[in-house]
Each structure stands twice: as structure tokens, then as C-alpha cells.
Amino acid sequence: LHHIPCVLIAQECGQYSSLGQDLVAMCVNDVLCQGAAPLFFLDYFACGRLAVNVAGEFINGVAEACNIAGCSLVGGETAEMPGLYKDGDFDVAGFVVGAVERKHLLPRVSEIVAGDVVIGLPSSGLHSNGFSLVRRVMDLHGLSYNSPSPFSDKTLGEELLTPTKIYVKDVMPFIDKVRAIAHITGGGLVENIPRVLPSNVTVRLDASHWTLPPVLGWLAVAGGVGKKELLRTFNCGIGLVLIVPARYVTDVRSGIPNALVIGSVKERNGDEPQVVVKKFGELFEKPMLPHISSYVTQLSARKRVAVLISGSGTNLQALIDATAGNGSVAMGAHIVLVISNKPDVRGLKRAQKADIKTEVIKHTDYPSRLKFDEAIHECLVAHKVDIVCLAGFMRVLTGEFVRKWRGRMINIHPALLPLFKGTHAHKQALEAGVRVTGCSVHFVEEDIDNGAIIAQKAVDILQGDTEDSLSERVKLAEHEIYPQALKLLATGKIHLDENTNKIVWN
């Protein structure tokens, strides 16, 4: 029985036939690992309201895949559950029955010995695994499934929906020459191969003997995904692994298309890992190369950001989280400086924990607001700051300072501007009796809370709300939209027309 994780991608792309092959492949490749030939398959299609064209395309994909696998599609179930699924949403599952002669039942663990050879069969792509990580990287870079693929001439959706390869007809003629088969799915080579090994042996793989799919090179660079995470999340180019006695290697390689000798079985030394992958660094680096130059360009183009605070720095933390690691490339910004007008506030500790330079410039050390602002300006210039974010900075800035940073300084306010300007915004909203408030990110102007609005998010006012309870919910909205607004400015999606005081979308 199998469920597949790529339904959401198919829904967004409007392509459903590959789901059928993914579902069948996951089932029949698994029974193949028992040495069994699949006999018949049943599918399950659950939805809120049946869309005949969607279900039909999916079933056609299932039928074609069953033909590839050499098994019969004998039936299935379609369930409409409007209370559980929204219109347009659906899920699928599949079930297969296979048969195997007892003498061919796999894995034959007791027969696996040092000297056996590891043969790998190439995968066709991600094989329905690792999509949570892929979606995270896509979100980081603001990509959709309809975006052009960074590693081919297709869309990302088309690449990710490449059907899982079905190995049954290639492998079954040689099932009596195989001692074990591992289907490389979630967990990758390092977690799936040990399931078929006795405890006294280890498998040593030579990664120079196969090719890493281009998508993984892109993920490594764009998502900052390391070698260990790739190995334990993806198949890394090998969809099926066969453990074969050395005397049968020639027969198996000549009979199975694209079969590769990728390693061997060795005696295990103490508690060493049961799978050791050598030269993976070399395999890993080659598909990364096409993406590194653009990544370096994006790194150098990031805007240098300073955040001004006076307190605990929860919005600062949201900005730190959004720009951490490879997030800074997607955001087009990295925080290089945090300035507080008060010492020992928690916001400074947040910055220091993130290895961000901090400065304390106390307003009480200066004879006037202007002198204080001049000190801040000099500090910003010294650190070559491009953008200034105010995050709970409890000082009114002078007009001279604002003019110097106009179009490059943004603030967040806990209300839906132009309503409830100034302090005590939550109190104003509650006293006004409105049912909705929220937060706004805006450019800073000399008139307080009067700059062009970049982003807003509404928050319902609930019965019995107090200033404190409302404030806590609005803060959550602030933490969401402040990074979004910074990204729009830092990546050049918007700029301020200083003549009209309006935002221009580029």
C-alpha cells in the first residue's frame, strides 16, 4: 500500500497522468524487493467533488504504468468526501499483490557475503521523495511550479513530476541471480541499503561510477543543502540497488539496461556504518558548478541592512530568521548591523546570537535629537548600510535624518494605516469599535506613520480582546509581513517615487 507526496504539485501544474505511474512504481518496485512479480493493482482516489477529467487522466496514468509493470489493473475505489476535502483537492493511494516462489524470496540475507557486488540502476529523477525540502527551497526563492527550471528547459513542475521509473520487467528475468534488492526512496542510499544486509558486512559505494541528477546540484546551491542531507533525503541518481554474487555480474549488467557496478560488499569493521559512499564530494560538485556563478553574483548583490531597536526585538528576530543562511540570497538582503539606543535589551542578545554586529548609541549621551541622529547616521555610513529597518525603535527621528535615508528606510506600525497613527494603536482600535485591525510596513517620512505603504495584513478583533491579547496576535502578523516588505525593497521589486510619495512596482 502506498501514498505519494507529489499530489499538490500535480494540482498546481494541472498534470495528473504522472501521478498514476508514481503510485504504481512505488508499489511494484517495493514488491520487487521481495523477489515478487506484481499480479494486480488497485487504486484509491479520494476527493471533495469528483472532477471527471482529473480522475480520468490519473486512471489513464495508472493503467499505462500497470502495463509497463506487467500487472493488471483490476479495480479501485473513488470516494467523494466533501466534508473532508475542499473542491479541487484530492488524494490517491494504491495497493498491489505480487507472487514469488519461495526459493526466490528476497532478501536472502544469510547468503550475502564479502565479495558480492553492488549494482545500481539509475533513477529517472526524485522518484516522489524529498518534496518537502524542494518546496522549502522554492519558497525561499519565490519560485512556483510554473517557473522556468534553473537546470533544464522545462518548468520546475515538469521536472519534479518526471514519473518514477518502474524496474520490474528489467529485473525479473535475473531474480534468481540476485541476493537482495533495495528500493532507494526516502532515507536514500544510506538508510535503505542496510535493511537488506546482515550485520557483519558493509557496502562501500564509489560515487564516481554514476551521475547525480541536475536537480540536486541546484538544490545544493539554492538551498544550502549539504552532502549528508542529500544522501539521506534523495536517491542521488540510483533508484534500485541489487546485491549480486560476483559470478553473475556480467549476466546482470548485459541483460539490464544501464546497470552500473557502483560498489561491493566488505567485511564490517566494528561499528562502522553499513553504507560508506566514497567520492560523493566529486559527484556532488559537478552539477553544482552551473549554479555557483549566479549564486556568487546574488551574494554580492545583497543589500546591507541595519535594524534600529529599543527593546526585545521580536520583529528583529523575524528579519534575522528570514535572512539567515541561504535566505539572505532569496531576500536580497543581509543584516550587517543592529543599533539600539538602550543598553542590555534583549534585541541586542538576539543579534549577537546570530553573529550580527551591534552598537549601542544612547540618546541620553547627546545634547539634542539632531546630534543623536547624526551619530546614528555616521555609524550607518561607516558600515556601508543600504537599507534601514526600524523595529520597535522608540525615538522620533529628525527631518534631516529622514531626508538622508528617504526611500531606503522602512518601519512597521501595529495598525492598518492610515488608521490609528502614533502610539497606543491597539487602544485606539478597541475604543473605535472596529472589528478589524492589523499592521502596516511603510516607508518612513518626516510626518509620523505617513509614508507610502508597502505591505499590510489584517487581524480580526475578537470579542473580549484586550490591548495585550490583540497585541500578541498583531505581532504574529508583523513577523510575517516585515520580511516580505524588506524582500520587495531589497530585490528591487519596488522603489519609492520621492516626488509623488508613491510606490513604483518594477
Domain 106-291 matches domain 302-505 at the CATH topology level: no
Letter for the amino acid at 71?
C
User: What mean pLDDT do residues 435-443 have?
Assistant: 97
Compute the mean pLDDT over every residue in the chain, rounded to the nearest whole number.
Answer: 93
Cell of 23: 503510485
**pLDDT in the model for residue 373:** 97
Is there a catalytic annotation at residue 183?
Answer: no
The pTM (predicted TM-score) of the whole model is 0.74
Strand 453-460 and strand 436-443: the pairing is antiparallel
**pLDDT in the model for residue 3:** 59
Please write the tens of the pLDDT for every residue from 118-138.
999 999 988 888 888 888 888
- Helix/strand/coil for 22: helix
* CATH-assigned architecture of domain 106-291: Alpha-Beta Complex (3.90)
Task: Using alpha carbons only, give the angle 209, 108, 210 rounded to the nearest 5 degrees.
Answer: 10
Q: Looking at the domain that runs over 1-101, which CATH code has it been given?
A: 3.30.1330.10
**pLDDT in the model for residue 5:** 65
User: What mean pLDDT do residues 60-85 have?
Assistant: 94
pLDDT score of 399 more than 80:
yes
User: What mean pLDDT do residues 422-436 have?
Assistant: 95
**pLDDT in the model for residue 2:** 56
Please write the tens of the pLDDT for every residue from 248-305.
999 999 999 999 999 999 999 988 999 999 999 888 787 888 888 777 777 788 999 9
Q: Cis link prior to 107 (omega < 30° from 0)?
A: yes
Beta bridge pairs of residue 387: 305
Q: Which of 2, 127, 291, 413 is catalytic?
A: 413
**pLDDT in the model for residue 213:** 87
Q: Which of 147-151, 394-398, 476-480, 489-493 has the lowest mean pLDDT?
A: 147-151
The distance from CA 243 to its chain's CA centroid, rounded to whole angstroms, is 33
Q: Which of 216-225, 412-421, 476-485 has the lowest mean pLDDT?
A: 216-225
**pLDDT in the model for residue 410:** 98
pLDDT score of 485 more than 70:
yes
> How much of the chain exceeds pLDDT 70, in percent?
99
Do 428 and 408 meet the contact criterion of CB atoms below 8 Å apart? Answer: no
pLDDT score of 428 more than 80:
yes
Do 265 and 214 meet the contact criterion of CB atoms below 8 Å apart? Answer: no
User: What mean pLDDT do residues 30-52 have?
Assistant: 95
**pLDDT in the model for residue 129:** 84
The position carrying cell 492589523 is 438
Q: What CATH number matches the domain at 302-505, 1.10.3720.10, 3.20.20.10, 3.20.80.10, 3.40.50.170?
A: 3.40.50.170
User: What mean pLDDT do residues 314-333 have?
Assistant: 90
Alpha carbon distance 47, 165 (integer Å): 27
- Write down the domain spans for the chain: 1-101, 106-291, 302-505
The distance from CA 301 to its chain's CA centroid, rounded to whole angstroms, is 23
Strand 358-360 and strand 333-340: the pairing is parallel
Strand 238-244 and strand 117-122: the pairing is antiparallel
